[in-house]
Amino acid sequence: MIRILSIALSLMLASATADEEFKPVGNFLLHSHFKLTGDKITPIPMKPIAFRVSTDGVRIKVTAESDDESHTTFEIYRSDGISRQQPRRGALEVIPGLQATSNTGGVLRHLRLSSESMTITTFPGVSDQTIISYAVAAESIPAATPAPEHLPIKP
C-alpha cells in the first residue's frame, strides 16, 4: 500500500514539474471562426474566447481562458517562420513563427503561431468540413503571466 502511494505521489510530482516546463508565449483573443464545406464558407457565431499559449520548445500548449484543464498540445514541426501576404502589395513574406500539429481522436489540427496571430485549422476525421479559428494577440488575460516580447524560436 505504501509503495502504491509513493508511486502515485511520484507521478503527481512528475506531472506538476512537466507543466512547469512550459513558458508563456502570449495571449490571444479569438477573432473569427468559420467552416469550409466544398467551396462554401460559413461564419460560425461565437463569443470572444481568450487563449493562453505556452511552449517548452518542442510542444505548444493552448489553454482556453482560465480553465487550465481545457487545453490542446501541439507538436512543433517547423520553427523557421511562417509566410503571410503583405496587405498592400500582396507579396508573400516570411515572419518569425512556428507551425505545429495535433492528432487526437482522429481529429487533425494544424497551428500557425506568430507574435501577432494564431490560426488553428481543424480537419475532422470523417467529415467534408474544415474549421478555421483565427485569434489575434491580446495584451493579457486575467490571472495570466505577461507575454515575452518575442516569440521563442527553437534552434
How confident is the model at residue 20, as a pLDDT? 61
- Over residues 48-72, the pLDDT tens digits come to 889 999 999 999 999 987 677 788 9
C-alpha cell at 46: 461565437
Q: Who wins on pLDDT, 41 or 142? A: 41
pTM for this one? 0.74
Q: Residues 1-46: pLDDT tens digits? A: 343 333 333 444 444 445 568 899 999 999 899 999 988 999 998 8
For residues 77 and 38, which has the higher predicted lDDT (pLDDT)? Answer: 77
- The span from the CA of 94 to the CA of 72, in Å, is 26
Q: E strands along the chain, which residues?
A: 23-37, 40-43, 50-55, 59-64, 71-78, 82-85, 92-95, 98-104, 107-113, 117-123, 129-138
Q: From CA 55, how far away is CA 74, in angstroms rounded?
A: 9
Q: How confident is the model at residue 130 (pLDDT cuts 50, 70, 90)?
A: very high
Give the pLDDT confidence score for residue 28 in this predicted structure.
Answer: 95
Domains, the chain, ordered by start: 22-138 (2.40.128)
In this predicted model, what pLDDT tens digit does every residue of 33-43 receive, in sequence order?
999 998 899 99
